[in-house]
């Protein structure tokens, strides 16, 4: 077994509203060295952001009136027209499926400011195929 283990960590920094990345060297439970990671991968950054959204809730996103209205319409459609397979857009479902509906829109986003610039309306529209969009409209 290898005595020294190396792990990279990317986490949300609440104080600065950004992501922090570091590399940790450990021998068993003892941390020997911690150093900042200069260039974590885009995947690591995005996964940390999604985890941060799950921790803090959907309120960290930019819910415009248009996005809120679409979400409400989808909730109503799910109740009133259950024969169509409408996507679940309650908080719990959206948080569980961030990789499906939000991640494709996160290219280049690495901060809270970047998250606030995302078009949540378009991200939610991406959950609907053309036929569903027509029925909803």
Query: Given this model, what pLDDT does residue 41 score?
Result: 85
Evaluate whether residue 6 is within a structural domain.
no
Evaluate whether residue 23 is within a structural domain.
no
Q: Which helix (H) or strand (E) holds 66?
A: helix 65-80
Evaluate whether residue 124 is within a structural domain.
yes
Range of the domain at 47: 41-136
Evaluate whether residue 109 is within a structural domain.
yes
- Token pair 């569980």 is found at 96
Q: How many domains is the chain partitioned into structurally?
A: 1
Give, as one character, the DSSP assignment of residue 88: P
Evaluate whether residue 71 is within a structural domain.
yes
Residue 45 tokens, joined:
């950054």
**In the predicted structure, residue 90 carries a pLDDT above the cut 60:** yes
pLDDT in tens, 63-83: 999 999 999 999 999 999 999
Q: Can you give the length of the chain in residues?
A: 137
Evaluate whether residue 4 is within a structural domain.
no
pLDDT in tens, 13-42: 878 777 888 899 999 889 999 999 888 888
- Token pair 């911690």 is found at 34
Query: Given this model, what pLDDT does residue 1 score?
Result: 57
Tell me the CA end-to-end span of the chain in Å, nearest whole number: 60
Task: State the pTM of this model.
Answer: 0.82
**Listed residue (57, 65, 63) closest to 98, CA to CA:** 57
- A 10 A CB-CB count for 106 gives 19
Evaluate whether residue 113 is within a structural domain.
yes
Quote the mean pLDDT of the chain.
92
Evaluate whether residue 127 is within a structural domain.
yes
């Amino acid at each position: 077994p290898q005595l020294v283990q190396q792990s990279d960590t990317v986490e949300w920094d609440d104080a600065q509203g950004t992501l922090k990345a570091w590399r940790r060297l450990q021998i068993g439970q003892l941390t020997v060295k911690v150093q900042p990671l200069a260039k974590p991968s885009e995947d690591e950054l995005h996964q940390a952001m999604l985890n941060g959204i799950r921790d803090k809730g959907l309120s960290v996103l930019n819910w415009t009136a248009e996005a809120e209205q679409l979400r409400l319409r989808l909730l109503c459609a799910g109740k009133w027209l259950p024969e169509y397979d409408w996507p679940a857009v309650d908080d719990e479902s959206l948080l569980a499926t961030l990789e499906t509906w939000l991640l494709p829109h996160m290219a280049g986003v690495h901060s809270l400011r970047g998250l606030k610039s995302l078009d949540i309306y378009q991200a939610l529209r991406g959950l609907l195929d053309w036929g569903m969009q027509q029925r909803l409209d």
